[in-house]
Amino acid sequence: MRPKKTPMRMCTGCGQMKPKKELVRVVRAPQKEGEQGQVPPPEISLDLTGKKPGRGAYLCRDAQCLQLARKARRLERAFSCKIPEEVYDRMEEEIRAAQEAAQPPQAPPEIVIEEEPLGKGGA
């Protein structure tokens, strides 16, 4: 059995390399030609389907990583544009929703029963 090669991407928040499918893509939509030479504000959004066109950056499916990227302004640097606060807020909500969908809160905690060797004296 040969292991499948997984494409790896770096999270813009924590900087860790992770398999692409474990990350969520943040995409900046291709800039449309503005009327009368006006440059429209860039459209930044989460791409949960991985199919949106445009320039992308990757984040863990974790609101914490988005917050890290937001604080360090790494997404702004990646896209070389300003990102309005409300865009961050919306992305954070979306990422939280995706997180909850991926990990149902009712999942029982994993219980590990450790078997202790018997017949050994203490102290």
Cβ closest to Zn ion, residue 14 vs residue 29: 14
Cβ closest to Zn ion, residue 6 vs residue 40: 6
Tokens in use for 119? 């017949």
Please give the residue ranges that form the binding site for Zn ion (CB under 5 A).
11, 13-14, 60, 65
Position 53: which residue type? P
Cβ closest to Zn ion, residue 50 vs residue 53: 50
Q: How far is the CB of 47 from Zn ion (least distance, A)?
A: 16
Contact 25, 50 (CB under 8 A): yes
Q: How far is the CB of 67 from Zn ion (least distance, A)?
A: 10
Q: What are the beta bridge partners of residue 25? A: 47, 58
- Name the nearest CA neighbour of 79 among 31, 20, 10: 31
Q: How far is the CB of 69 from Zn ion (least distance, A)?
A: 8
